[in-house]
Structure formats: structure tokens, C-alpha cells
Amino acid sequence: MTTVVSMVEAVVDFDDAVKRHERELHIHCYRMTGSFETAQDLVQETFLRAWRSRDTFDGGPGLRAWLYRIATNVCLDDLRRNARHPGASNEVTWLQPYPDRLLDEVAPPADEPDAVAIARETIELAYLVAVQLLPPRQRAVLLLRDVLGWSAQETADAMELSVAAANSALQRARDTLREKLPRGRGEWSVAEPTAEERELALRFIDAHERADVEASLAISRAGIRITMPPHPWVFQGVEALAPLMAQAFGDESPGTWRLLPTSANRMPAAASYLLVPGDTLFRPFKLDVLRIEEGAIAEITTFGAELFPAFGLPESLSTEDS
């Protein structure tokens, strides 16, 4: 009986220790794969592998690094098994958004000064897309070095590479990111959308709820880019946006819209609900994540409504509240 109790206590203690790092590991797996849902599965696989290999960990303050090492290799194994390839325009069709309310769960507590803060530049959708364009090994080395701040030796050990090979992979990854990332990346350092960005998102919401095409175009940059993962579609410029707006708001509109403000990947976002003729509730329809430059919307990434629960959004909206 004593042995059974001891085993149960060991399981509980281990579970409590590793679960403290669950959110940050989920974000790491999300950066590696670009998928919120895939990352959830990979974190559980990380914990399973950690339990199976617990005898190899000598305890102490190195638990976080040990778990990151396991998670990184879990992700690499998944990427090898499930190769994902961008479309013709480098659109990452498997990309999913990450709710800001969950990012806030990894604020470093006072007793863990080495916890990893979530900088906007490392979670913004443009960064995630650029990272997904890297080969898996380069991707992992980049995240370990430039996001987690690991040394070249620590990274090489985790990846079972020579330091020279790890450094070479890092340099190639950095070169690719410089080529792929939009200008002004240095301005992404704020922890959340600014007041100006939130105000513009509210104007976006107002224009959509009023079905005002002209107002929607007025807050968009001339070269606005619209993508809709998991579809490979890319629409570029206000000339391409106008027909989409007309379809959503005009005679072909599927119904009446209600939108709620939210935020994803440290960017302003709007959750759209649709009331179709004959229904009595506004139903979840889509999530628009907005990239804003110089006071106008430069990019809209439109996702489905599958992750509304993760954003803490309601299942439906009543017509009585409209």
C-alpha cells in the first residue's frame, strides 16, 4: 500500500511540476507548427515523453529547458511525419490564430525570472508565416536561439548537432526571415495592440455592421492583402477587396452581421457572427485578424470560427442585443 501511495504522489508531483510550463510549451509548439490545435496534441506528447524519460532528469532548476528540449524534438518528429508545404504565393494554409487571453497566461511570475515573455514580434502572424517557410531544423534552431535565448552550445546539444552546424542553420534562418518579413518589424515590440489600433478595429467593426463598403475601404491601405487559411486564396489591393465587400454586404449578402472586438497574436481582431434569414440567433462565422500600418489596415487574415471557444467568445448572439 505504501508503494502505491508513493507512486501516486510521484505522479502528482511530476504532473504539477510540468503543468506549470504547459502554456509556454504550447506557444513554442505553436510557433514550430503554426497550428493552435496541432500544438495542443504536441504538448500532450511532450508530457508523455517527459514522464517516460523522467529518470534521465536530475531535478533542479533545469526542468524548463529539459521540457523545451523534449517539445522541440516532438515538433520535429511531427514535421517530418506531416510535411506541410506553402502554396504558390507562400501562403501558409495551416496557420491558425492564437488568443491573446491565453498568451497572457505566460507572464513571468516573480519566482521564475527566466520564464519566457511573449514579445509581439515573435507571435505576430507575419513572423509565424515566415518561420513556417523555414526547413524544420532551421526553424527549431532559430526559435531556440532568437526567441528562447539559448546559447549556441545549448541549442546544439538539444538538437544533437555540432555547434558549427547549429550556427550555420541559424544564419540561414535569419537570412530567410530578413527576406520574408515586412518592413518595420522593429515596431512590433509592444505587448498588445495599441489604443490607435484598437480604435481602428472598432471602426472596422462599425463599418461591417452597417454594411458600409465605402467606410471599409476608407480605412484600408491601397495595397491591402487578404488571405483566408486554410484556403489558398490571396487578394491584393483595394480593387480586390471591393468585390469581397460587395458580396458580403450587397444583394448577395448571406444575412446580417454582428461583430465583437477581440485580439489574437498581439494584434486587433474582430469576431463575426451571422444571422441568416429565418434564424433567431447570430451564429459564429469568421475571425478577422488585422495588421495595421500607418493608421490603416494593411492586411486581413480571415480564419474560420473553430477557435471561438479558445478566445472566450460566446457560442451565439441574441437578436435582442442587436
The domain tally of the chain equals 2
Domain residues for the domain of 220 are 195-321
The reply to whether 79 and 183 lie within a common domain is yes
For residue 252, the model assigns a pLDDT of 74
For 161, phi then psi, to 5°, come to -125, 165
Query: Residue 87 carries which side chain, given as an amino acid letter?
Result: G
255 vs 253: CA distance, rounded Å:
5
As given in the structure block, the three cell numbers for residue 268 are 486587433
- In this structure, are 167 and 218 located in the same domain? no
Strand segments (E) across the chain: 220-227, 234-236, 256-264, 267-275, 281-293, 296-303, 317-318
289: left (phi over 0), alpha (psi -120 to 50) or beta: beta
Place of cell 546544439: 156
Q: CB of 46 within 8 A of CB of 71? A: yes
pTM confidence score: 0.90
Q: What pLDDT is stored for residue 6 in this prediction?
A: 47
Of 160, 188, 216, the last residue of a domain is 188
Shared domain check, 52 and 11? yes
Q: Which of 188, 207, 231 finishes a domain?
A: 188
Residue 246: CA atoms inside 13 Å, Cβ hemisphere, count?
Answer: 6
pLDDT of residue 12: 57
Distance, CA of 75 to CA of 54 (rounded, Å): 19
CB-based contacts of 315, cutoff 8 Å, min separation 6: 284, 308, 309
Q: What is the CATH number of the domain that holds 301?
A: 3.10.450.50
131/116 same-domain check: yes
Pairing of strands 256-264, 281-293: unpaired
Same domain, 125 and 212: no
Both 65 and 149 in one domain: the answer is: yes
Q: What is the pLDDT along the chain (322 residues), one digit of tens a residue?
A: 555 444 444 455 777 788 889 999 999 999 999 999 999 999 999 999 999 998 888 766 789 999 999 999 999 999 999 988 887 778 899 999 999 999 988 755 555 555 556 777 889 999 999 999 999 999 999 999 999 999 999 999 999 999 999 999 999 999 999 998 876 655 555 567 889 999 999 999 999 999 998 999 999 999 999 999 999 999 999 999 888 888 888 777 889 999 999 999 999 999 999 999 999 999 999 999 999 998 999 999 999 999 999 999 999 999 876 5
Say if residue 137 is in the same domain as residue 59. Answer: yes
